[in-house]
Structure 1
Amino acid sequence: MSIYGLPGSRICIGIQPQGVDLQTILQKRKIHCVGKVRHNRLAGCSFSDDKVMKKKGRGTFEEKATSYDGVQLRAVKWHDNRAVHLFSTFTSANPTISVQRWDKKKKETVQVTCPSVVHAYNKSMGGVDLLDSLIALYRTKIRSRKWYHKIVFHMMDFTAWHLYRRDCKDCGIPKKEVYSLLKFKAEVASCLCNKRKVLKKRVRPSHNEKKRRGSASSVPSTPGRCKYPGCKGIVKVQCSKCVTYLCFTADKNCFMNFHKQ
């Protein structure tokens, strides 16, 4: 596995499928890490049950510390609306801070205790988790054998989310009046579908190379403009074989020159 990063760097990871092994490898390269982890990836690390922590209230947390392969690791379980597990090699639960959260039952903002490791994770990854959530709600589904089609439509969903957030922020729209993401994307799609199509200009058919080199005995019959390069004369005759307007006068013979090139 190839890992690139400057020593002393700090990185945040979403859900870590590798768990302990990944953070150990990073820390040995002096790359500090913090991220979410599934509880089943924390072998030998037991926390209180979710129901027990829920009874204690929001902001309840537990911390476990250990040393694995010479690396100091800390795991924290924090209960907000639901339990979340975080893993870090450079920060811990303390010192704690107080954050504002919305209480649905009381219908008001309340203060909730937040561990330092959670604050460090949310500072860098809060918007990323929100992005993943919104994209998953209204993902553009497409079935195609061309793999890059899915990448293109995923980037369109990503851009639509940014435009949605920017529109709400720049216009100062109250949260109660903000359009839903579904309605916003529907309006964008409607504008793109109703955009006027650019009509292609009709192109004159080019002359046939074999016919024009075949013979110079063509008989002109209709008027037109001379097609010989460099000649802008208006003629009243046309080659009936290669259907090309050419002039032949006492001063110049574009008809003969064109067929002998």
Structure 2
Amino acid sequence: MIHLIKIDSEFLREVGEIARFTGRFFSEVIKPKQEWEEFINQCFWIGFKTLTLVGITAFIMGLVMTIQSRPTLLEFGAVSMLPAMVSVSLVREIAPVITALICAGKIGSGIGAELGSMRVTEQIDAMEVSGTNPFKYLVVSRVLASTLMVPLLSSLAIAISLYGGYLGVNIRGNVSWHLYWLQSFGALGYGDFIPSLIKTFFFGFAIGIVGCYKGYNSKKGTEGVGRSATSAVIVASLVVFIIDLIAVQVTDLLGLT
């Protein structure tokens, strides 16, 4: 019982610290001046350097989902619905969430390890002594970059996965390019695209905040750097699922599902 109480208190303390860290981010982001050069640099590393991994995963995801869905639809004589079913599934849920999880693993761990190394080697302390605002330079730029790049990566992942779906449909069938995209986009509406896009901004923000928090508050030397990177991936992935659950409930209440 005492052990459970201790775990609960640690969990609540962690939630409170992350909330305070987030509050500090919002207070710093509105202050001049912005570190635009570092922001652009982080957009390159977070966005462009992750594009290949996201693109390959999205292509395989669309291809495999189409191939595995075909036998089930074939039993019901509904193979013609395959492009519509795949497009709705990918756009609404699968592509954004899988992209966010990939980013949580790559971006979250990278930010956690980088800032953790800077913390244990006292580089952050040196920046404070020299008069530089390390929070604005290191944290604000990375959180803004992840908030912007994850939606872009998710949008590209949707497009690539739909192309993979087209190839999957034509492995055992014969659907023309025009007909495939006509059926795919004919099954989609603004209620599919808009909620999917909006929640990816929250995914990116959460990944950036968690990664920066874990790295910025890293302790216990080099061992703490590894723990920061690992815990950043775990917590960011969990937060992604929680945000997705909330987004699904909200869209359902708004009648967009």
TM-score by shorter chain over 0.5: no
Larger of the two Rg values belongs to structure: 1
TM-score by length of 1: 0.25
Higher strand share: 1
Q: Which has the higher contact order (CA 8 A, sep 6+)?
A: 2
TM-score by length of 2: 0.25
